[in-house]
């Protein structure tokens, strides 16, 4: 039974006719079995011949068969087109799906970034809130402190007004005490002493553009000290610091390798004990020993003999080295003197003397000077050969006590052209009954108080 298909293929039948059923045979063959073969579709490469008219040959291809094949091919072609469209649509959908997935991932990243930014902004706002709260707290504290300070200031202002009233009420008493002191300690008890003659020198260079008549209150406060000559002063202790030395003077300290300006222990050859002094190593080759310094009025220079003998003040501020110390320094060798001065317009001038020393206490520490040079004018030579005068030891050539009128200790004549230990007035030109400021007559006159003064000595070259 299996030989039927094989014979049919060998007999020249085309395999494309796979779905064509055979026509029914004659009735006489109705009792025979019939088969339908399904063969794979193949592409027709050659012509297909169809016999005209009716053919009884069961193996011949009719037009109906060709039409059926064509219909089948058309259907298959349509299905193929449909499949191509479906494939194209599916491909576009896949691409769109991929794009959507990529966009989704980008959106997720963007959402994550926005979330982090939002979280950071929340944290920052929270920190800002904390800082704002702290700032508000500080403002409240500052406001409270300012209110407290304002209240304190008003209290101090009220106290100051009360003290000013007391000072004003005591002005008459102070004036009376001043006159009484002048009468008691005058060399002529029967007549009230007159003040010393005013400095008549008209300096070539008078500092200008300074307010006139300044510091009246400060001057009035110092008037209370007029009667203090009856009370012995206590020497103001000097600063105690670690100083190198002792050296015989500041030049010896410089030669020992100490080239920095500062406080040093000085012990002259004949001195019993060392003293502290400021060594100036930065001007004119250094080696200068500062024996007097005035700069801010922080130290009272209206003192008695013992204070001027032993020294007083602050080495790094205002101080007086002491007459005994200056005398011992001058005994070692020949020294020269440099007087530095600065006015209230910050102009600096100087006066230098070729030699300087003091005689012993037995002759009142008499001043001995050499020749002058400088640009401040010579206002100290008129004091040469004069003894030192203080509130309680009057050794000047005036009928009264020059220390009383000039409110300081100095080598007064009658009374003189210089008063570097007088009252420190601010502003330069001052108002006073007597010339009691820190004046250098040949520079500024008697009613111009210098801003700062230093007296320095050094062995001559």
Which residues does 293 contact at the CB level (< 8 Å), separation at least 6? Answer: 278, 313, 317, 318, 319, 453, 454, 455
Q: Which of 405, 446, 438, 404 is nearest to 420 (CA)?
A: 438
Strand pairing category for 319-320 and 288-294: antiparallel
Residue 75 is encoded by which pair of tokens? 């259907």
Q: What is the pLDDT of residue 276?
A: 93
- pLDDT digit string, tens, across residues 247-268: 999 999 999 999 999 999 999 9
Least confident of 44-53, 267-276, 404-413: 44-53
Of the pLDDT bands very low, low, confident and very high (cuts 50, 70, 90), residue 43 is low
Q: What is the mean pLDDT of residues 54-78?
A: 78
The pTM for the full model equals 0.55
Q: Which of 228, 226, 218 is nearest to 400 (CA)?
A: 226
Which residues does 247 contact at the CB level (< 8 Å), separation at least 6? Answer: 253, 256, 264, 265, 266, 267
**In contact, 250 and 457? CB cutoff 8 Å:** no
* Alpha-carbon span 238 to 379, nearest angstrom: 30
Q: Is the dihedral of CA 42, 43, 45, 51 positive or negative?
A: positive
pLDDT: is 5 or 64 the higher one?
64
* Alpha-carbon span 2 to 376, nearest angstrom: 152
**In contact, 316 and 424? CB cutoff 8 Å:** no
Q: Which of 209, 415, 410 is nearest to 294 (CA)?
A: 410
Q: What is the pLDDT of residue 256?
A: 93
How many other β-carbons are positioned within 10 Å of the β-carbon of residue 146?
11
Which residues does 260 contact at the CB level (< 8 Å), separation at least 6? Answer: 281
């Amino acid at each position: 039974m299996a030989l039927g298909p094989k014979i049919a293929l060998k007999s020249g039948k085309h395999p494309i006719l796979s779905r064509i059923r055979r026509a029914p045979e004659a009735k006489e063959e109705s009792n025979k079995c019939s088969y339908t073969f399904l063969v794979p579709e193949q592409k027709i490469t050659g012509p297909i011949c169809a016999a005209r008219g009716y053919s009884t040959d069961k193996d011949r291809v009719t037009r109906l068969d060709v039409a059926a094949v064509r219909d089948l091919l058309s259907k298959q072609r349509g299905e193929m087109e449909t499949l191509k469209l479906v494939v194209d649509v599916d491909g576009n959908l896949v691409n769109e799906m991929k794009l959507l997935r990529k966009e989704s991932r980008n959106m997720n990243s963007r959402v994550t970034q926005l979330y982090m930014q939002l979280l950071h902004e929340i944290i920052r706002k929270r920190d800002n809130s904390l800082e704002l709260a702290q700032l508000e707290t500080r403002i409240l504290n500052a406001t409270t402190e300012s209110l407290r300070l304002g209240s304190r200031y008003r209290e101090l202002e009220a106290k100051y007004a009360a003290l000013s009233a007391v000072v004003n009420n005591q002005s008459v008493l102070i004036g009376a005490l001043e006159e009484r002191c002048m009468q008691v300690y005058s060399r002529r008890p029967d007549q009230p002493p007159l003040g010393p003659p005013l400095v008549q020198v008209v300096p070539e260079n008078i500092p200008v553009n300074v307010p006139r008549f300044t510091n009246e209150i400060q001057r009035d406060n110092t008037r209370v000290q007029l009667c203090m000559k009856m009370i012995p002063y206590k020497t103001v202790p000097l600063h105690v610091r670690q100083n190198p030395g002792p050296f015989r003077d500041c030049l010896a300290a410089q030669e020992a390798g100490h080239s920095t300006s500062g406080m040093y222990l000085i012990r002259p050859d004949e001195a019993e004990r060392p003293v502290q002094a400021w060594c100036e190593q930065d001007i004119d080759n250094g080696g200068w020993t500062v024996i007097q310094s005035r700069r801010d009025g922080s130290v009272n220079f209206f003192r008695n003999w013992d204070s001027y003998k032993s020294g007083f003040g602050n080495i790094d501020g205002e101080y007086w080295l002491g007459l005994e110390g200056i005398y011992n320094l001058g005994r070692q060798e020949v020294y020269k003197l440099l007087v530095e001065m600065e006015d209230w317009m910050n102009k600096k001038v100087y006066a230098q003397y070729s030699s300087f020393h003091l005689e012993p206490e037995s002759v009142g520490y008499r001043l001995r000077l050499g020749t002058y040079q400088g640009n401040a004018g010579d206002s100290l030579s008129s004091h040469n050969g004069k003894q030192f005068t203080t509130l309680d030891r009057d050794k000047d050539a005036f009928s009264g006590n020059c220390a009383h009128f000039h409110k300081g200790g100095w080598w007064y004549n009658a009374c003189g052209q210089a008063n570097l230990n007088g009252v420190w007035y601010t502003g330069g030109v001052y108002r006073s009954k007597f010339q009691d400021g820190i004046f250098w007559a040949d520079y500024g006159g008697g009613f111009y108080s210098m801003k700062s003064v230093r007296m320095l000595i050094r062995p001559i070259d």
